[in-house]
Structure 1
Amino acid sequence: MEHELLCCEAESVRRAYRDGNLLTDRVLQTMLKAEDSYLPSANYFKCVQKEILPYMRKIVATWMLEVCEEQKCEEEVFPLAMNYFDRFLSVEPIKKTRLQLLGATCMFLASKMKETIPLTAEKLCIYTDNSIRPSELLQMELLALNKLKWDLASVTPHDFIEHFLTKLPIQKDTKQILRKHAQTFVALCATDIKFIACPPSMVAAGSVAAAVQGLHLKSADSLLSSQSLTDFLSQVIKSDPDCLRSCQEQIESLLESSLRQAHQQQHGVSTDTKGVEDEADLSCTPTDVRDVNI
């Protein structure tokens, strides 16, 4: 009996409650002032990198997202890891054969910042099909920390979502659904190079607006109507409404193309491979990063 109770306690992870003191306008204004400091260079493919191309970033980013989802990481881990990833590539040239190593390292750092139980170097190496060793990942960790100047407290779109949700006239249950949709859009944006130069607050506002429209939410005071919501959020982040509307449209377009691609891939898989999924090990994510090296 004692042994069973001990096992149950070992499996539970205690989560911190959301602190209302961190959702004040003062905190929001501080983040809005700081966000530009953590923006990567939008043209690092041309000015810094000699081997890395946009499609390679897309492959590695998709793989990173799949690993974070498979490991059930906190929602903020992936956007934070991608911020480290792009900031590193903005200042340091890297060979394409080391791009997956950099991605694993950025997830390693982000999970340390945000997870109760961080990802281990050994587990991340397994997800690379053991193409890298834990010692290599630890060496890259030190290099990444040096290039990021040990400044890991990046402002990401995820940080703004809760601030926006607290300002909207929606019920608690609806807020939970809206939050999940907005977080999904933020993660999707992090995989696409079109959003590298977008301020995190605008990506978050566009994601929330896209989520509201996608869920067809209605409100008695009409704040949740398309035009009113865009105007309201643009005032909150001190942005031009047309810029925010354009960002929202890009997010909706990205979602549509991603769903279309997923649908095509799903119907393109042979039914003979269905039984293989049960035998897959940790290294088998749908995205094959070896394509980067071609």
Structure 2
Amino acid sequence: MEIETQPQDEELEEETSIIHDRDDMDDVRESDSDEQEVEKAASIHSPRMWPDVDTERAVKYYQEIEAVKKTFEDEVDFFDTTMVTEYAEDIFKYMSDLEEDVMPNPDYMSGQNEISWSMRQTLVDWLLQVHLRYHMLPETLWIAVNIVDRFLTRRVVSLVKLQLVGVTAMFIAAKYEEILAPSVDEFVFMTENGYSKEEILKGERIVLQTLDFKVSQYCSPYSWMRRISKADDYDIQTRTLGKFLTEVTLLDYRFLRCKPSLIAAVGMYSARKMLGGDWNEAFVYHSGFVEEQLEPGHQWIADKLLEENFHQQYVCQKYGHKKFLKASVFAIEWAKANAASGGSDEQVMLKK
């Protein structure tokens, strides 16, 4: 399946529009009613982490991980400058400390009046299209989706403003990550002039104020995936399939309960399992998770892949290209085969 880098006008019209035939929209505004909406959204119970296990099992997992850390000998590669060996431990510890601070409420949709989880999935799917069309960095996508979820945690948003939240989030994320970020005029074009330049710029101010300007604190799962990949010497098949599976989690609201480090581990574990590999001590050491902790997340991903017409999601089209080893085609076929066979593992190789 080919990925077109230069979409035709009619394709862009179809792909970059979430909301068609909408009424004229009022400007985004800050008012007393906005403050009431914030209070209403904030009244939703606080976030709950997944997996939520009893104390006995939590202690068991901790002891297993610590035992591996004490006995496993990690070979330090001083020539791998991307992992900055001298500071890696301190960096990842700092990133771990920041994770909970930038997580959205996983049940925020109960505080919304007009939107639903399926609408969020449509928005994220559209952001995936825009992200690829403009050749943005992977972290830009993850930051944008995180901004959307955290904003919807604190603000009640109408259906006609949902796409504005999404495009504003991508606009902010691009400023943080891209060397040459798309201009605001390009973001107006992305929405087919559905929103004006002024609306996006005003939306940017409101989003940043709502989030207390906490944007750079978020670290995407890819940061942890790079570390975990060291366990299999950065195997290209596992890494590519793992990237697809982690992007699948963006479409599944259940993963809002998971820290980015856990999402990365689930993606890599699922990739290893699909390719017939095991979750050995090296993976436990570099990920900080044992197999039992990751199995439920793997099942969530498998369930998502088996949803009706899931292959039509843009993430599947993106990873259906030979550039990405047709990872989505392989993963969906694996999920169907294992569902039909009752879950028995089947080792197949991705096509290069």
Are the equivalent residues in 2 in contact too, given 1:181–1:211 (CA < 8 A)?
yes
> Counterparts of 1:22 and 1:106 in 2: how far apart (Å)?
34
Gaps of at least 5 residues in structure 2 are 1-80, 315-352
Normalised by the length of structure 1, the TM-score is 0.72
Mapping of residues 184-263 of structure 1, within 5 Å: 184-216=244-276, 224-225=277-278, 228-229=279-280, 233=283, 236-239=286-289, 241-257=291-307, 261-262=310-311
> Counterparts of 1:43 and 1:127 in 2: how far apart (Å)?
29
Q: Among 216, 238, 247, which residue is 1:178 paired with?
A: 238
**Corresponding residue of 1:26:** 90
> Counterparts of 1:133 and 1:35 in 2: how far apart (Å)?
34
Kindly report the root-mean-square deviation, in angstroms, between the aligned alpha carbons of the 2 structures: 2.5
Distance change in 2, residues 1:128/1:23 (3 Å) = farther
Amino acid at match of 2:151: F
Mapping of residues 1-294 of structure 1, within 5 Å: 18=82, 20-21=84-85, 24-46=88-110, 48-153=111-216, 154-166=218-230, 168-170=231-233, 174=235, 176-216=236-276, 224-225=277-278, 228-229=279-280, 233=283, 236-239=286-289, 241-257=291-307, 261-262=310-311
Distance change in 2, residues 1:234/1:95 (3 Å) = farther
C-alpha deviations, 1:41-84, integer Å up to 9, x for none?
Answer: 011111x3222211111111110111101112111111111001
> Counterparts of 1:31 and 1:194 in 2: how far apart (Å)?
22
Could you tell me the percent identity over the aligned residues?
Answer: 22
> Counterparts of 1:179 and 1:20 in 2: how far apart (Å)?
20
Are the equivalent residues in 1 in contact too, given 2:188–2:195 (CA < 8 A)?
yes
Offset at residue 236 of structure 1 (A): 4.8
Name the SS of the counterpart of 2:154 in structure 1: coil
Name the SS of the counterpart of 1:90 in structure 2: helix
Distance change in 2, residues 1:22/1:87 (3 Å) = farther
Name the SS of the counterpart of 1:76 in structure 2: helix
Offset at residue 235 of structure 1 (A): 5.6
> Counterparts of 1:160 and 1:246 in 2: how far apart (Å)?
19
Gaps of at least 5 residues in structure 1 are 1-16, 217-223, 266-294
Query: Quick check: which one's helix share is greater?
Result: 1
C-alpha deviations, 1:167-211, integer Å up to 9, x for none?
Answer: x132x5x3x443333222222211221111111111100111122
Normalised by the length of structure 2, the TM-score is 0.61
